[in-house]
Each structure stands twice: as structure tokens, then as C-alpha cells.
Amino acid sequence: MESSLFEMLKEGKKVGALGSLNADYSFSVSSFPQPGSTVTASGMVVRPGGKSSNQIVQAALLGMECQMFGQVGEDPRGGWLIEKLNEAGVNTQKIVKNGPESGHAFIMVDDKGENEIVVSSGSNGSLSKEYVEEVKSDLSSLDALGFCLEVPVETVEKALREVEGPIKVLNVSPIPSSPSLEIAQGADVVIVNEEEAKSVIGKPMPSSPDSFLWGTAAKMLKKRNLPSVVVTLGSKGSVVLEDGKAWPVSPKPVTPKDTTGCGDSFAGSLLAALASGMSLPDACRLASFASAYSALRDGAQSSYGTKEEIRKFAQE
């Protein structure tokens, strides 16, 4: 069953991401600091990141023809971020340089593989609606297009409303200050984690993926004519809410080393699978293997596996 999922991936399908690029400063700590305290890191490394950039790299590693849409600063890190995407096989022709500073993320990873992250938006914070207008024809030519909220919400909303053609997947992260699923109008699929689901759906969600209460949530979404939703539950797996029904997706158990890039690996794999014509439940099953694989290695993009690496891992 696991192997057949990967056979369904169609290499060369066109996948894009509109959103963020960051330089990730990752610090290894034994435990997170308490308020007012200081901890010493055992090491620090700088890697390419940003939710959208991470997602498009994972899709490229799965064999898709990928393009990144966004902007970096005119600082040295901006050119470095573009260079790293080029090395990953991602088309960067539509990335623009705007403003003095690129986006940065400061990440602490503890001994259990958990993380805490602070993001400085930099040039991501000024990605404009005018930019969407400029690249709209390129976006419309894709098979699947991913979004996150590390760029201005109004920019994402314009693209969701006006771009026609690709399957549009919105990762509602980071959660906006006044969350609502109304932002998802125009999306085909919305990805939220357990805490984000409570905010955007407006009520506490079950902690177990096989709870019958997910069916109630799915019926509510259908009644409100909202898009399909994937709720990720970390080590407990995920749940697909579609057409008034709920499908639990079991995880592959692992002992994590670093969970920094797991959510973006999941989203990028989902984009690749949906571009290939897979059903949403099957796409989530494939994405869960990719996400679990990424938890075994350090960093975000640096932890992602190729199609063959993840296929082998899924069969173990």
C-alpha cells in the first residue's frame, strides 16, 4: 500500500508557492529558557527556510517542476536564499529583491526535538497585491499552488480570489490575530494544526484523529460551503474533513530529532500529491510519511527526503 502511494506521484507536474523565504538561525539547547532566564546553546547553524520556500523544496524533491513566488531583501542573505533554491532545482525567476532586509527566523530546538520559533518578516512583510497582479498568469499555469500567512493576508486573499487554474492550498500559519475560515474563500484545501483549528473553526477540536466529533466538524464546514480541511495533529497523525465526512490518517511512529520543518514537509508533499491527481486522503497519507521522515534529521529543508528515500522509509 505504501509503495503504491509513491507510484501515484506524477513527476513534472507544475507546483508553485507564493509566500515567504527566510534565513533560519537554529540553536540547539537542552531545554527552553524560562521568562527572564538565559540558556547556552550547544551549537548554531544557518539554513535556508521560510514556510513557502520549505514547501516548494519538498515538492521539488518529490519530482515536481517547481517555482517560487515571493521576495527577498537586497542584503547578502537574499541572494543566498535564491541560490539555495536554485540548488534545490526550484525556478526562482519570479523572486524579486525589495527592501534592505530579508526574512529571518530564530529557532531553538531542544533535546526532545521540539522547537520554539520567532520570525522577523523582513521583505516578506511587504509582498504586495501588485506583485500578485504581475505574476498572475504564471500562477494560473500551475497544477497546484501553496500559500502561507508569513506574508500579508491581503496579498494571499487577492491570489486566492483571482488566480484560476491550479489547486489552491492554504496553510493557515502563522495564525492571524483575528482568525476566521472566511480567509480561506477561494482555497480548495486548508491546512491547520490542532491549535489553529480551534481558532479558525471556532470550537475545541478532538485530540484523537479517530474521534466521531470530527464528523460533526466536517458537516459544519460543508454546511458553510467552506473548503476541505486537513487538521494536523503532530505525532497523532491528521484528519481530513471533506464533503461532510472525516478520514483519520495514522502517523508512522518515529523518535524525532528535530520537528522544525515537519509541517512544511507535510504541506509541500500534499501539494505534489494533489498536483498528481491523488485524492485528499491519499495525499495526506503520503505527506505523513514525508513529514515523519523529516523529523529524523536536523533543520527544515536540510531534513527533507527524495521520493525514493521516503518510499524506502515508508516500507520499513
Dihedral over alpha carbons 138, 50, 84, 110 (to 10 degrees): -160
- The percentage of residues in the chain with a pLDDT greater than 70, rounded to a whole number, is 94
Q: State the pLDDT confidence band at 85, using cuts at 50, 70 and 90.
A: very high
Q: Please report whether residue 223 resides in a domain.
A: yes
Query: What residues make up the domain containing 196?
Result: 2-21+51-101+124-315
Q: Please report whether residue 291 resides in a domain.
A: yes
Q: Please report whether residue 44 resides in a domain.
A: no
For position 138, what pLDDT does the model report?
Answer: 98
CATH number at residue 17: 3.40.1190.20
Domain count, the chain: 1
Q: Please report whether residue 57 resides in a domain.
A: yes
Find the mean pLDDT for residues 10-29. 96
For position 178, what pLDDT does the model report?
Answer: 65
Q: State the pLDDT confidence band at 194, using cuts at 50, 70 and 90.
A: confident
Instruction: Give the pLDDT confidence of 122-177 residue by residue, as tens digits.
Output: 999 999 999 999 999 999 999 999 999 999 999 999 999 999 999 999 998 887 77
Q: State the pLDDT confidence band at 216, using cuts at 50, 70 and 90.
A: confident
Cell numbers linked to 272: 505534489
Q: Please report whether residue 86 resides in a domain.
A: yes
In this structure, of 103-117, 159-173, 197-211, the range with the lowest mean pLDDT score is: 197-211
Mean pLDDT of the chain: 92
The order of strands in the sheet holding 189-193 is 65-69, 14-18, 144-147, 167-171, 189-193, 228-232, 238-242, 245-249
User: What is the rounded distance in angstroms from the CA atom of residue 42 to the CA atom of residue 19?
Assistant: 32
Cα–Cα distances in angstroms (integers) from residue 239 to residues 108, 197, 280, in the given order: 28, 11, 10
Q: State the pLDDT confidence band at 203, using cuts at 50, 70 and 90.
A: low
Whole-prediction pTM:
0.93
Q: State the pLDDT confidence band at 207, using cuts at 50, 70 and 90.
A: low
For position 201, what pLDDT does the model report?
Answer: 67
